[in-house]
């Protein structure tokens, strides 16, 4: 039995349905998009933050965006953060279906528990 190859649009649809299987998968919310980026290890709260994705998402002035709009959102994020768009898309395609990898959604207090001043961070 061969497994169907993952596509960006297919992944978009699957992650759009997180927490609500009744959704069509035609549009995605910011929180679901962030979850997907976190599972793909793109949204790391260092190079790319939830503020970065929120600013780009809110340019659409709506709570959910379509796949075509999301592609523009992704291009905007990659351009603003100097990330390679094709590499980013491959990470999003290959991160597995929602929930196949544990995703730790940070709580604001976690940052302060692990905070190190920049001059003390090991590079």
Confidence of residue 80 (pLDDT cuts 50, 70, 90): very high
CATH 1.10.238.10 fits 8-120, yes or no: yes
| Secondary structure string (H, E, C) spanning the chain | CCCCCCCHHHHHHHHHCCCCCCCCCCEEEHHHHHHHHHHCCCCCCCCCCHHHHHHHHHCCCCCEEEHHHHHHHHHHHHHHCCCCHHHHHHHHHCCCCCCCCCCCCCCHHHHHHHCCCHHHCCC
pLDDT the model gives residue 26: 96
**pTM, to two decimals:** 0.81
Per-domain residue ranges of the chain: 8-120
Q: Is the pLDDT confidence value at 2 over 50?
A: no
pLDDT the model gives residue 21: 75
Chain segment 25-63, per-residue pLDDT in tens? 999 999 999 999 999 999 998 899 999 999 999 999 999
pLDDT the model gives residue 115: 59
């Amino acid at each position: 039995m061969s497994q169907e190859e993952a596509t960006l649009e297919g992944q978009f649809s699957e992650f759009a349905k997180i927490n609500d299987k009744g959704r069509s998968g035609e549009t995605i919310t910011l929180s679901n998009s962030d979850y997907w980026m976190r599972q793909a290890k793109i949204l790391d709260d260092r190079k790319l933050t939830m503020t970065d994705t929120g600013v780009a998402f809110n340019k659409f002035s709506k709570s959910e965006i379509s796949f075509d709009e999301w592609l523009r959102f992704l291009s905007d994020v990659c351009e603003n953060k100097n990330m390679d768009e094709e590499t980013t898309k491959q990470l999003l395609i290959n991160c597995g279906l929602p929930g196949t990898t544990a995703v730790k959604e940070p709580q604001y207090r976690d940052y302060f528990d692990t905070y190190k001043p920049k001059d003390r961070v090991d590079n």
